[in-house]
Amino acid sequence: MTAKAMIAGLSGLTLNDSERAFFNSENPWGFILFARNVDTPGQVTDLCASLRECVGRPDAPILVDQEGGRVQRLRAPHWEKYPAGASLGGIFQIDPEKGKRAAWLLSRLHAFDLLRLGITVDCLPVLDVPQPGGHDVIGDRALGATPDQVSALGLPACEGLMAGGVMPVIKHIPGHGRAMADSHKELPVVTTPRDELEATDFPPFAALSSMPMAMTAHVVYTALDADNPATTSPKIIDEVIRAQMGFDGLLMSDDVSMEALSGDFADRTRAIFAAGCDIVLHCNGEMAQTQAVASSTPVLADKALERATRALQGIGETDTSNEAACRAEFAELMNMLPMA
């Protein structure tokens, strides 16, 4: 049975009976884990195995947001505390080559952590370029304040993950950096002229357009589409993301349960697919919402199926990096930064 074009969250540390039955019947393409789903390495490993077992697909992707800094779902004491993207930018400011090496190493360390648990997709890098007045929902998650620096660090961040057999997701396309609101809570509206967006917000996504997956921004850009956020805008997806930026990978929505979107969950889901997204993402694990999303989600087919298949290529294929050596080298590079 072909998978449905959705990535689903779940409620706790183990699958409950209703989730197991639902996922078995609906067959979502993938799953996403949050802090509520994480306790110990053994528990996460077992959870990943049970998720794949209930859909009968050993290669079903399991995603996580493991950036470092504020956004790190796997935490101490079982996992190392990693720095936010701004720290990589700080090293880059001192020595660009060492900054790029640090970005690669941090991602490679994430891949060591994730792949041994069965997590195969990490939702990074953040390619948003923060602008003065922008909401701090991006803040120190950003790799820099210029499109050139974000592009320069974003590429090795992707390559480090892929060297460790984990796939990256570039986010939040076409750019969340100048949004003056948190799209988790309300709909940001950006009134910046198109030529300025093209000069500052779009370049990192265009530079990394060959990456396997991207996540949309729940942001209205009035110069592009005054009526719809990028996630539900056919114009932005067709003309900007696909044509202008040249991204032909798997395009997933940001979380459909975020307050930036309007309408009930079935309406939101239909709008996401009508706009041209390949996959809908639902994160919070609330079963009634998940059922509503699934009711309006098609099975993967045609171009979306082709992109989803391509996105999984390379998962589990690792280089010969030595984990201890990578950790030591990364710690040495972090020592370049002044003490807080």
Q: Whose structure tokens read 């799953």?
A: 31
Instruction: Give phi and psi for 167, each to the nearest 5.
Output: -95, 140
Instruction: Give phi and psi for 67, each to the nearest 5.
Output: -95, -40
Contact in structure between 244 and 203 (CB atoms under 8 Å) = no
**Number of CB atoms found within 10 A of residue 184's CB:** 13
Q: Whose structure tokens read 């891949």?
A: 111
CA-atom Rg of the chain in angstroms: 19
Measured distance CA(297)–CA(265) in Å, rounded: 11
**Regions of the chain short of the pLDDT cut 50:** none
Measured distance CA(315)–CA(183) in Å, rounded: 30
3-state secondary structure string across 170-231: EEEECCCCCCCCCCCCCCCEECCCHHHHHHHCCHHHHHCCCCCEEEECCCEECCCECCCCHH
**Number of CB atoms found within 10 A of residue 136's CB:** 10
Whether residue 77 has a cis bond before it, omega within 30° of 0: yes
Measured distance CA(38)–CA(132) in Å, rounded: 35
pLDDT recorded at residue 340: 59
Contact in structure between 131 and 178 (CB atoms under 8 Å) = yes
Q: Catalogue all structural domains in the chain, each as residue range(s) with its CATH number.
A: 4-334 (3.20.20.300)
Residues recognised as catalytic: 184, 254
Measured distance CA(337)–CA(80) in Å, rounded: 18
Measured distance CA(236)–CA(214) in Å, rounded: 14
> How far from chain centre, in Å, is Cα 134?
20
Q: Whose structure tokens read 């391509």?
A: 310
Contact in structure between 40 and 10 (CB atoms under 8 Å) = no
Measured distance CA(311)–CA(29) in Å, rounded: 12
DSSP of 311-337: HTTTTT-B----HHHHHHHHHHHHTTS
Contact in structure between 135 and 181 (CB atoms under 8 Å) = yes
Contact in structure between 131 and 150 (CB atoms under 8 Å) = no
pLDDT recorded at residue 67: 97
Measured distance CA(331)–CA(340) in Å, rounded: 15
Helices within the chain (DSSP H only)? 17-26, 41-55, 85-94, 96-115, 147-163, 194-200, 203-207, 234-235, 265-275, 287-295, 302-311, 323-334
Diameter over CA atoms, the chain: 54
Q: What is the pLDDT of residues 167-207, one digit of tens each?
A: 999 999 999 999 878 788 888 899 999 999 999 999 999 99
